[in-house]
Amino acid sequence: MPRIAYVNGRYVPHVAASVHIEDRGFQFADGVYEVVTVIAGTLMDEEGHLARLTRSLKELSIPWPVKPRTLRMIMREVVRRNRSANALLYIQITRGPAPRDFKFPAEPTPTLVITCRRTSFQPASALEKGVAVITLPDIRWQRRDIKSISLLPQALGKQQAVQAGAFEGWQVDPDGFVTEGCSSNAWIVTKQGMLVTRPASHAILNGITRQTILACATQEGIAFEERAFTVAEALDAAEALMTSAGTIALPVTRIDGQPIGDGRPGPLAKRVREMYLAHGGVADPVRAGGV
Ligand code: PDD
């Protein structure tokens, strides 16, 4: 069955989908995006992702290409046309095509692209053994709260991580505090059982998965603290984990080659994942065997 993409008002075969060569997304990374996980047909955290998209567009003064209500409809239609029960739905909005000029065009016609890729998520071993991360300097701009398509530092970081045999790179600020992963938020569990993650600010992307997990933790009475932690503290933690739409929540069992805790996934990482999935009303797609 051919994949179908949505581009500026049309549903087109994925292989034939294209945008203008002078699209400002292509020329200047002048755009924003969201990744929504679809599990068993449910668009996880749809409201949160749309709220963040609204914020990102506003911060960059990019007009909505369609009404938010219409966007919701198109998102569902793309999932339906791709017959994707488990998938990653990708939404990108740019300031659109314009003759190359740094300043904004007077009357932008924003580009909207939505794609859907089936996924079986991570292999079960990622849950059973946990994943490894390496730390690297955070070389990004100072508005990381905006989900900008300008992702070169994260792509470089992820590549460095993969070449080091790790799954993710944890970016570290000049003071030695972990900001976040290249495409995920970073968490630790202290030896006292406190869940810790960096507070939302311009220094990190306020993950939607992160926000839902913090709301669930509040409901379930799990102690947490929103504060920055150093690499040294992470190495000495009882547990570590990472969260994002694509990975949900994965235990991190090695940082820079050193085992965290006893080197095996800990109970809180497991509980956070279960809590998130239960909140969304879905079973774990990894344990359920994926697609
Ligand atoms: N990345 N921090 C960064 C830098 C990210 O790129 C992401 C998500 C997150 C987690 O946000 P959320 O929980 O809303 O997915 C944190 C997506 C998945 C991506 O770029 O593919």
User: Distance between CA 54 and CA 64 in Å, rounded?
Assistant: 8
Any idea of the CA torsion for 234, 220, 130, 253, to the nearest 10 degrees? 20
Pocket test for ligand 1, best of 32, 33, 34, 35 (most atoms within 8 A of CB): 35
For residue 204, which atom of ligand 1 is closest to its CA? Answer: 2
Determine which residue's CA is closest to atom 11 belonging to ligand 1. Answer: 207
For range 188-217, the mean pLDDT: 98
124-288: CATH topology: D-amino Acid Aminotransferase; Chain A, domain 2 (3.20.10)
Domain positions in the chain: 4-118, 124-288
pLDDT of residue 288: 54
In single-letter form, the type of residue at position 127 comes to L
pLDDT of residue 222: 98
Per-residue pLDDT reduced to its tens digit, 30-65:
999 999 999 999 999 999 999 999 999 999 999 999
4-118: CATH topology: D-amino Acid Aminotransferase; Chain A, domain 1 (3.30.470)
For residue 245, which atom of ligand 1 is closest to its CA? Answer: 15
Per-residue pLDDT reduced to its tens digit, 105-154:
999 999 999 999 999 899 999 999 999 999 999 999 999 999 999 999 99
Residue 15 CA to ligand 1 centre (angstroms): 26
Per-residue pLDDT reduced to its tens digit, 232-279:
999 999 999 999 999 999 999 999 999 999 999 999 999 999 999 999
The model scores a pTM over 0.85 = yes
pLDDT of residue 2: 87
8 φ/ψ sector (left φ>0, alpha ψ -120 to 50, else beta):
left
**Catalytic site includes residue 147:** yes
Q: Would you give the DSSP letter of residue 198?
A: P
User: Distance between CA 254 and CA 263 in Å, rounded?
Assistant: 7
The DSSP annotation for 24-59 comes to HHHHH--EEEEEEEEETTEETTHHHHHHHHHHHHHH
pLDDT of residue 84: 86
Q: Are 175 and 242 in contact (CB under 8 A)?
A: no
Both tokens assigned to 255: 């940082």
